[in-house]
Amino acid sequence: MKKGVLLVNLGSPDSPTPKDVKKYLGEFLMDERVIDIPTIARAALVKGIILKTRPKQSAAAYQKIWWDEGSPLIVISERVQAKMQEQLDIPVGLAMRYGSMTIKKGLQALVDQGVDEVLLFPLYPQFAMATTETITVLTEQLRQEHFPSLKIESFPAFYNKPDYIDVLSNAIKSHVKDKNYDYMLFSYHGVPERHIRKSDVTKSHCKIDGSCCATPSKAHEFCYRHQCLEVTRLVAEKLGLKAGSFSTSFQSRLGFDPWLQPYTDRTIERLGKQGIKNMAIVTPAFVSDCLETLEEIAMEGQELFHEVGGQDFTTIPCLNDDQEWVDLLVKWVNNWAN
Ligand SMILES: C=CC1=C(C)c2cc3[nH]c(cc4nc(cc5[nH]c(cc1n2)c(C)c5CCC(=O)O)C(CCC(=O)O)=C4C)c(C)c3C=C
Ligand SMILES: [Fe+2]
Ligand SMILES: [Fe+2]
């Protein structure tokens, strides 16, 4: 058996033009695990409403963060892939759940190199229907249709692995060491509350009000909210943050349904109004910087904080291609391969 690994991230449009953004958002938002309503209603909402206005607005945001080499999320993921490949003897592939760098092409490239056993590696620390699950489900469909003899194993969400918490804590510590901050906000991408209830394997554990996430349950293996809160708790413990000097919030909501709360924008506003002058913000739902960190947090979030009287706003970069993070990925892949 020849082994290989396929890293999978979310994806980005091919370019920051409204046309390419529309194509990308159309694929992304028509995923039943992202907008989880019946197909006809989803098509009416996405094609009839969202795609009429959002692409222009999102393209303008993408234009602010786009690099000469392309989308930050893609470029950073490629750097991680290349650095891993330097250290590993088995092929390292890269694919995106949405957009041109498809999972099908990623699997094909590994098969072309003689691989018959794949470690599928969703690049998300926490499980969510809209991230990890949609990747594993689509990959299994592709395997059945196109690569029936391929053996595929998925790397699970790694939110509470002690070595991941160490790497994340070290990255935060080294970034804030010379910075002025008296509050640290842990901001995670939000999901609709409904997603959390759907992923509750016990069908009775999730209370959404937060009381459930600290009570041990087998539901937590698939509870995005619990997994985010755990990352905050473990990192805060590791960094020795004092109670009252940090909290968790959820960003990037879309539409009118209730999403996980508290919302990041309202939290930044509240902190500023309460007299917090200097804050740091970390975004541990993403391993690579992307639109949601570079624009929504580093630009919009900072502007909002200043509007409500804040001064220093320190945005902590994602793990990106930090050597310690790459070394950890290599270690996990080697543990699987050997
Ligand atoms: C409408 C529902 C959405 C859900 C549910 C959702 C979950 C989710 N997303 C990420 C990670 C990323 N999302 C990104 C962009 C983005 N997300 C949504 C919508 C949902 N995400 C939209 C419409 C967009 C596009 C941009 C916009 O119009 O605002 C990105 C950035 C991609 C990039 O190119 O840089 C990431 C990364 C997670 C982790 C998650 C659930 C946990
Ligand atoms: Fe998203
Ligand atoms: Fe919970």
Q: Label residue 207 by pLDDT band (50, 70, 90).
A: confident
Cα of 254 vs centre of ligand 3, distance in Å, is 21
Domain count, the chain: 2
Nearest one of 142, 93, 82 to 119, comparing CA atoms: 93
State whether 168 and 234 are in the same domain.
yes
This model of the complex carries an ipTM of 0.95
State whether 78 and 179 are in the same domain.
no
Consult the annotation and say whether 306 binds a ligand: no
State whether 91 and 119 are in the same domain.
yes
As for ligand 1, residues whose beta carbon falls within 6 Å of it are: 10, 12, 25, 29, 34-35, 54, 58, 71, 73, 124, 128, 130-131, 189, 191, 224, 252, 254, 285-286, 290-292
Q: Can you tell me the distance from the alpha carbon of 12 to that of 9, in angstroms, rounded to the nearest whole number?
A: 9
| Residue 292: count of CB within 10 angstroms of its CB | 22
State whether 185 and 251 are in the same domain.
yes
CA angle 334, 335, 336 (to 5 degrees): 90
State whether 118 and 178 are in the same domain.
no
Domain that holds residue 138: 3-158+323-337
Q: What pLDDT does residue 210 have?
A: 74
Q: What is the pTM of this model?
A: 0.96
State whether 63 and 145 are in the same domain.
yes
State the virtual CA torsion across 58, 190, 286, 335 in degrees, nearest 10. Answer: -140
Q: Is the pLDDT of residue 176 over 80?
A: yes
Cα of 254 vs centre of ligand 2, distance in Å, is 9
State whether 74 and 189 are in the same domain.
no
Closest ligand 1 atom, CA of 128?
42
Q: Can you tell me the distance from the alpha carbon of 185 to that of 276, in angstroms, rounded to the nearest whole number?
A: 12
State whether 145 and 169 are in the same domain.
no
Sequence-distant (6+) residues with CB within 8 A of 260 are 188, 190, 191, 192, 193, 196, 224, 225, 250
Q: Give per-residue pLDDT as tens, 56-79.
A: 999 999 999 999 999 999 999 999
Q: What pLDDT does residue 174 have?
A: 97
Q: What pLDDT does residue 1 have?
A: 87
Tokens coding 96: 């995106």
Instruction: Give the 3-state secondary structure of residue 275.
Output: coil
CB–CB of 165/261 below 8 Å? no
Q: Is the pLDDT of residue 22 over 90?
A: yes
Q: What pLDDT does residue 180 have?
A: 87
252 Cα distance to chain centroid = 11
CB–CB of 97/313 below 8 Å? no
State whether 219 and 194 are in the same domain.
yes
Q: Give per-residue pLDDT as tens, 98-138.
A: 999 999 999 999 999 999 999 999 999 999 999 999 999 99
Q: Is the pLDDT of residue 96 over 90?
A: yes
Tokens coding 232: 């905050």
Q: If you average pLDDT over residues 183-201, what whole number do you get?
A: 95
Q: Give per-residue pLDDT as tens, 283-299.
A: 999 999 999 999 999 99
State whether 39 and 141 are in the same domain.
yes
Q: Which ligand is nearest the CA of 290, by number?
A: 1
State whether 292 and 328 are in the same domain.
no
118 sits in which H/E element: strand 117-122
Q: Please provide the average confidence, as pLDDT, over all residues in the chain.
A: 97
Q: What pLDDT does residue 255 have?
A: 82
What crossing angle do the helices spanning 162-176 and 323-337 adopt, rounded to 10°?
A: 170
The residue whose CB lies within 8 Å of the most ligand 1 atoms, and thus the one to mutate among 21, 132, 158, 189, is 189
CA distances 287 to 107, 218, 309, Å, are: 22, 25, 30
Q: What is the percent of the chain where pLDDT is above 70?
A: 100
Instruction: Give the 3-state secondary structure of residue 326.
Output: helix
Q: Label residue 270 by pLDDT band (50, 70, 90).
A: very high
Q: Which ligand is nearest the CA of 199, by number?
A: 3
